[in-house]
Copies of this chain bind each other. A is one copy, B any other.
Amino acid sequence: MAVKLEQITVPTRGIGDFVEITQQVDDVVGRSGIREGIALVRSRHTTAAITCNEPDPRLHADMRDAVHTTFPASEPYRHIEEGPDNAVAHLATAMLFGESTWVAVRHGRVDVGTWQHLYLVELYEARRREVDVAVLGE
């Protein structure tokens, strides 16, 4: 059994950006030498989430809309020193998408399912985001 811990950097282009990170996570798995086990993925931010989903831009648009219908920017939020968008970004990260997930590692590769891809979801503004990837196994 071994553990490999890495931090990957994910630049984003602005609010609502779905940045695919499957390859970057797979590269960490490759460098770990681990053939069978798990890869855990976690955004080190409270306004950028992790999700595993289909690579359909229309689905990503539905998810962006779902954030705004669930938590409208027009609500009287209290956490407003960085603007109401920032409160919404916090709520959507912690209460809708979540900031972490895990996937199986088989034959030295991440095994996410047939139509699935790992994404960092930018919920605030263009940033350089940091993501922790931990690989455990044999």
Contact = CB atoms under 8 A, between A and B. Distances in A.
Nearest to A67: B95
| Consensus secondary structure, chain A interface | mixed
Interface residues of A, number: 60
A114 B7 CA distance: 14
Contacts of A75: 65, 69
B99 A101 contact: yes
A19 to B, nearest CB: 16
A110 B136 CA distance: 17
Interface of A: 1-3, 5, 36-38, 40, 42, 44-46, 51-54, 56, 58-59, 61-63, 65-66, 69-71, 75, 77-80, 87, 90-91, 94-106, 111-116, 130, 132, 134, 136-138
